[in-house]
Structure 1
C-alpha cells in the first residue's frame, strides 16, 4: 500500500470541542489548517468518552470493549488514587505506532496516553508517580526512551512545574519542537492537556478555558514553524484533533454511598473499604456498576431495583441505566453489570461515605481537585457534545464534512502512512484523502 505522506503529525488538544470552532476560526494558526485542509464539524466520540479510552481508540480504530482500555483508571475499590491505564500492554490489538515501526518508519510520542513501555523510537509516555516512594522522573525514564527523555528533561525540565498547567504543556511544546528538528519522525503523536485542565477546574466557557485555546493556537504555530525550519513541512500532514468535549456540572452522584448503606460495600470505620459486593466505578459523566461475584444474583437484583427507583426521580441525577450487554453494544465494557449515564449538570464520584448527592462549589474545587466544574465521560449521543478533527498538508483534500466517528481516525492515519490496522470498528475517511488514479484504498 502506497504512503500518502512522509510525516504525520497528530496533535491531540485534549477536550477541544466542536463548540470551539468559532474561536478557532479567528486564530491565525488554526485558520491556516482550516483554510487549506479538511475540517469535520463534529466528531462522535466513544463510550465512555474519557481520555485514555479515547486515545487508545484514535490509534487503533476500535471501541473500548475491543481494544481493552475501558476507562482511565483501573478497578481498585478503596484505593484513594487508582492506577491509570498507562501501559501499552493494556491495549489488546495492534496500534498505529506498532504498524508504522514494523514498516521501518520512525515513531515518536510525547505524553500520549497508554504508551508506557511501548515500542516507540522516541517515547516520553504519560505516566505519573502514583505511590509516595515513586520518583516522577525515574518512573517516566523507565517507561519510555531513557536517553531521549533525559536529554529533553535536561534542556527543558526547568519549564515544568510537576503536573501543573500551563507549564506542563509548555514543556511538552519545547520537547515537540526539539523532536521535530532533531528526529524528523515519520509519525509524531503529541498530547496537550491545558484546555482539559482549565475546563475541569473553571468550567467549559470560563475565561481560563478560552485563554488555554489561545495558548494552543500559539503552540500549533510553533509546531508549524518547526516543521518549516526542519525542511519537512511540504512533505508533512498535520492533524489537530480533540478526543472528547465537556459539559458543565455542579452535582456529584455517589452511588457507593447507597451501596455502603445497603451493606454491598463494607468498611473498617476508618474510611477504608475492606470488602464489596457491588461497586460504582466512575467514568465522570457515566459509570460502570460492577458485581464482584458474577454468580451473585441476589446482589444483581438488589442493584437493579435500586437503579430503577433512582432513575424514576430526576433529582437523583441518573438519566439512564443499561445492562452490561447493552453497554457492550455501545462499545463500552460488557463485563460490567450495569452502566449509568448522568443527567446534564451531574457526574459520578466513587465516595462511599458522606452525601449521596453533593453540590460542588468553586471552593470545593480549589481545596480538593477530585471535584470539578466541567467533565466528560458522557454518552457521545449527548447534545452539543462532539469534538473536532482538522487535517492539512500532504495527502489531504480541502473539504468540509459534517461528521465522522473517533473510531474512523486510526484507519485514516494508517492509510496516510501506508500501513494497515486490520479489521477495525472504524473506516478510513477516504473523502478527505488525495488518492492518485490507479491507487486503491
Structure 2
C-alpha cells in the first residue's frame, strides 16, 4: 500500500470539543491548518467517552469491547486510587504504532495513553506513581524508552511541576519540538491535557479553559515551526483532534451508597470494603455495574428492580440504564450487568460511604480533587457533545465534512502511512485524502 505522507504528527488535545470551533477558527495557528486542510465539524466519540478507551480507539480503529480498554481505571473495589490501563498489554490486537514499526518506520509518543512498555522507538508514556513508595521519574523511565526520557528530563525537567497544568503540557511541548528536530519520526503521537484539566477544575466555558485553548494555539505554532526548521514540513501531515467533549455538572451520584444499604456491599467497622455482590464502577458521566459472580441471578434481579425504580425519580441522577448486552452493542464492556447514564448536571463516583448525592460547588471542588465542575464519559448520543478533527499537509485535501466517528480516525492514520490495521470497526475517511 502506497504511503501518502512521510511524517504523520498526531496531536491529541484532550477534551477539545466541537463547541470550541468558534474560538479555534480565529486563532492564527489553527487557521494555518484550516486554510488548506480538512475539517470535520462533529466527531462521535465512543462509549464510555473517557480518555484511555478513546486513545485505544484512535490507534486501533475499534470500540472498547473489541480493543479491551473499557475504562480509564481497573475494577479494584474499595481501592481509593485504582490503577490505570497504562500498559500496551491492555490493548487487544494490533495498533497503529505496531504496524508502523513493522514497516520499518520510526515511532515516537509523548504522554500518549496506554503506551507503557510498548514497542515504540522514542516513548515517554503517560503513567504516574500510584503508590507511596513509587518515584514518578523512575516509573516513567521503566515503562518507556529510558535514555530518550532521561535526556528530555535533563533538558526540560525544570519546566514541570509534577502533574500540574499548564507546566506539564509546556514540558511535553519542549519535548515534542526536540523530538521533531533530533529524531524526525515517521509517526509522532502527542497528548496534551491542559484543556481537560482546566475544564474539570473550573467548568466547560471557564476563563481558565478558554486560556488553555489559546495556549494550545501557541503550542501548535511551535510544533509547525519545528517541522519547518527540521526540513520535514513539506513531507508531513499534521492532525489535530479531540478525544471527547465535556459537560458541566454540579452533583455527584454514588450508587454504591445505596448498594451498601441493600447489603450488596459489606464494610468493616472502620469503613473498609470487605466484600461485595454488586459494585458501581465509575466512567464519570456513565458507570458500569458489575456482579462479583456473573451468574448471581438473585442480585441481578434486585439491581434491575432498584434501577427501574430509581430512573422514575427525577432527582436520582440516573437518566437511563442498559443491560450488559445493550452496552456491548454500543461498544462498551458487555461483561457488566448494567451500564448507567447520568442525567445532565450529574456524574458518578464509587464512594460507598456518605451521601448518595453530593452538591458540588467551586469551594468543594477546590478542596477535594475527586470533585469536578465539568466531566465526560457520557454517551456520544448526548446533545452538543461531539468532538472535532482537523488535518493538513501531505496527502490531505481541503474539505469540510459534517460528521465522522472516532473509530474512523485510526484506519485513516494507517492509510496515510501505507499500513493497515486489518478488519476494524472504523473505516478510512476517504473524503479527506488526496487521490
TM-score bracket, shorter-length normalisation: over 0.9
Q: Deviations for 1:55-85, whole angstroms, at most 9, x for unmatched residues?
A: 0000000000000000000000000000000
1:255 lines up with 2:292 in the alignment = no
Return the alpha-carbon distance in structure 2 between the equivalents of residues 269 and 408 of structure 1: 50
Return the alpha-carbon distance in structure 1 between the equivalents of residues 295 and 11 of structure 2: 45
Match for residue 398 of structure 1?
Answer: 398
Secondary structure in structure 2 of the residue aligned to 1:419: coil
Return the alpha-carbon distance in structure 2 between the equivalents of residues 296 and 336 of structure 1: 12
Shift of 1:269: 2.3
Return the alpha-carbon distance in structure 1 between the equivalents of residues 273 and 159 of structure 2: 39
Secondary structure in structure 2 of the residue aligned to 1:326: helix
Return the alpha-carbon distance in structure 2 between the equivalents of residues 272 and 152 of structure 1: 42
1:344 lines up with 2:340 in the alignment = no
Match for residue 290 of structure 1?
Answer: 290
Map 1:357-376 → 2, pairs under 5 A: 357-376=357-376
Secondary structure in structure 2 of the residue aligned to 1:8: strand
Q: Deviations for 1:118-166, whole angstroms, at most 9, x for unmatched residues?
A: 0000000000000000000000000000000000000000000000000
Match for residue 234 of structure 1?
Answer: 234
Match for residue 224 of structure 2?
Answer: 224
Q: Deviations for 1:306-357, whole angstroms, at most 9, x for unmatched residues?
A: 1110001121011101100000000000000000000100000000011111
Secondary structure in structure 1 of the residue aligned to 2:164: coil
Return the alpha-carbon distance in structure 2 between the equivalents of residues 99 and 318 of structure 1: 41
Map 1:407-426 → 2, pairs under 5 A: 407-426=407-426
Secondary structure in structure 2 of the residue aligned to 1:188: strand
Match for residue 61 of structure 2?
Answer: 61
Match for residue 87 of structure 1?
Answer: 87
Return the alpha-carbon distance in structure 2 between the equivalents of residues 99 and 146 of structure 1: 22
Shift of 1:270: 1.5
Match for residue 100 of structure 2?
Answer: 100
Shift of 1:275: 0.6
Map 1:28-427 → 2, pairs under 5 A: 28-427=28-427
Shift of 1:271: 2.6
Shift of 1:410: 0.2
Secondary structure in structure 2 of the residue aligned to 1:316: coil
Return the alpha-carbon distance in structure 2 between the equivalents of residues 223 and 314 of structure 1: 48
Structure 2, unaligned stretches of length 5 or more? none
Return the alpha-carbon distance in structure 2 between the equivalents of residues 355 and 17 of structure 1: 32
Return the alpha-carbon distance in structure 1 between the equivalents of residues 168 and 399 of structure 2: 34
Quote the RMSD (CA, aligned, Å): 0.4
Secondary structure in structure 1 of the residue aligned to 2:315: helix
Match for residue 18 of structure 1?
Answer: 18
Secondary structure in structure 2 of the residue aligned to 1:315: coil
TM-score with structure 1 setting the length: 0.98
Secondary structure in structure 1 of the residue aligned to 2:150: helix
Secondary structure in structure 1 of the residue aligned to 2:41: strand
Match for residue 439 of structure 1?
Answer: none
Return the alpha-carbon distance in structure 1 between the equivalents of residues 296 and 410 of structure 2: 39
Return the alpha-carbon distance in structure 2 between the equivalents of residues 179 and 389 of structure 1: 24
Q: Deviations for 1:384-440, whole angstroms, at most 9, x for unmatched residues?
A: 0000000000000000000000000000000000000000000000000012xxxxx
Return the alpha-carbon distance in structure 1 between the equivalents of residues 271 and 185 of structure 2: 49
Return the alpha-carbon distance in structure 1 between the equivalents of residues 355 and 243 of structure 2: 32
Shift of 1:363: 1.1
Query: 4+ runs of 1 displaced by more than 6 Å?
Result: none
Return the alpha-carbon distance in structure 2 between the equivalents of residues 405 and 126 of structure 1: 24
Return the alpha-carbon distance in structure 2 between the equivalents of residues 325 and 388 of structure 1: 29
